[in-house]
């Protein structure tokens, strides 16, 4: 969390799967002083969480306490892109813009999909790292939810920035292009040259530029 009591705007960030908040460390360190930033440790990844939380609606409830004292923009990275879009639909009166980074909208690249879909014998499940098990469960669980979510994003009448790196080896850029096309006029699609799947860590300034763009659009600049 990077708190700025005088900031008018707050950026709320959903990490991907698995939920690694440390990927946002540079973003927090380099943030402009006039921007408040919160990175949520998603449900299912806390020390006291025993099971993955697969429902998008349950996941986005975690941001509810942060929505009432500032103007809000949500950012979602990878799996978190769907959560950012879902939160905008859930809190239409409190979220004014969405930024997606390398959003997983359809399916990952084939080799990553193989890892997600690979059958792990029950006897070996306990040996797999907890975060790996929960990541696999989340990717599986999103498949029944993503279609209805994408049907609804067409109704969002707010600025949406769709960012994707040209060197992303996990999620195809066609996912981002499809999302921007689906949203239509409210979407701005930006390819980040040299960007990998971890734009929040690699190119924080590009994210701040996207924040500035949506604020200008909101304020009519």
State pLDDT tens for residues 32-41: 989 999 999 9
Domain count within the chain: 1
Which tens digits make up the pLDDT trace of 134-170?
Answer: 888 898 899 999 999 999 999 999 999 999 999 999 9
Tell me whether residue 3 is in a domain. Answer: no
Beta bridge partners of 73: 11, 97
According to the model, what pLDDT value does residue 64 have? 96
Neighbour count for residue 152 (Cβ, 10 Å): 13
- Assign residue 189 the CATH number of its domain: 3.40.50.1820
For every residue of 74-100, DSSP letters joined together read EEEETHHHHHHHHHHHHTTTTEEEEEE
Confidence tier at 124 by pLDDT (50, 70, 90): very low
How confident is the model at residue 130, as a pLDDT? 77
CA-CA distance, 32 to 26, in Å (whole number)? 12
Q: Is there a domain that residue 2 lies in?
A: no
CB 160 within 8 A of CB 100: yes
Closest CA to 76 of 104, 53, 43, 108: 104
Yes or no: say if 161 and 99 are a contact pair by the CB < 8 Å rule: yes
Mean per-residue pLDDT over the chain, rounded: 90
Q: In this prediction, what percent of the chain has a pLDDT beyond 70? A: 88
Span of 1-15, 104-118, 191-205 with lowest mean pLDDT: 104-118
Position 170 in a domain = yes
Number of Cβ atoms within 10 Å of the Cβ of 20: 20
Does residue 57 form part of some domain? yes
Exposed e or buried b per residue across 169-201, where buried means at least 16 C-beta atoms within 10 angstroms of its C-beta:
ebbbbebbebbbeebeebbbbbebeebbbbbbb
- Residue 172's domain comprises 9-218
pLDDT tens figures, 40-86: 999 998 888 888 999 999 999 999 999 999 999 999 999 999 999 99
pLDDT score recorded for residue 127:
43
Residue 221: what pLDDT?
61
**Is 1 a domain residue?**
no
Residue 4 in any domain: the answer is: no
How many Å separate Cα 10 from the centre of its chain? Answer: 15
Task: Give whole-number Cα distances, 140 to 117, 148, 156, 189, in Å.
Answer: 8, 15, 26, 27
Q: Is 2 helix (H, G, I), strand (E, B) or coil?
A: strand
Could you read off the pLDDT of 85-104 as tens digits, one per residue?
Answer: 999 999 999 999 999 999 99
The answer to whether position 40 is within a domain reads yes
Residue 212 in any domain: the answer is yes
The model carries a pTM of 0.92
């Amino acid at each position: 969390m990077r708190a700025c009591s005088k900031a008018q705007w707050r950026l709320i960030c959903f990490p991907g799967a698995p939920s690694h908040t440390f990927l946002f460390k540079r973003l927090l360190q380099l943030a402009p002083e006039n921007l408040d930033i919160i990175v949520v440790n998603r449900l299912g990844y806390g020390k006291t969480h025993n099971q993955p939380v697969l429902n998008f609606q349950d996941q986005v409830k975690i941001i509810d306490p942060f929505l009432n004292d500032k103007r809000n923009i949500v950012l979602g990275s990878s799996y978190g892109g769907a959560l950012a879009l879902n939160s905008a639909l859930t809190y239409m009166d409190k979220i004014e813009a969405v930024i997606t980074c390398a959003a997983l909208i359809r399916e990952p690249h084939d080799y990553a999909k193989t890892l997600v879909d690979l059958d792990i014998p029950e006897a070996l499940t306990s040996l797999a790292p907890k975060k790996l098990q929960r990541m696999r469960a989340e990717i599986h669980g999103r498949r029944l939810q993503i279609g209805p979510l994408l049907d609804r994003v067409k109704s969002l009448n707010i600025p949406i920035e769709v960012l994707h790196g040209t060197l992303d080896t996990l999620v195809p850029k066609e996912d981002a292009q499809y999302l921007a096309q689906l949203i239509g006029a409210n979407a701005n699609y930006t390819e980040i040259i040299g960007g990998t799947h971890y734009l929040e860590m690699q190119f924080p300034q590009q994210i701040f530029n996207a924040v500035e763009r949506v604020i200008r659009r909101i304020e009519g600049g």
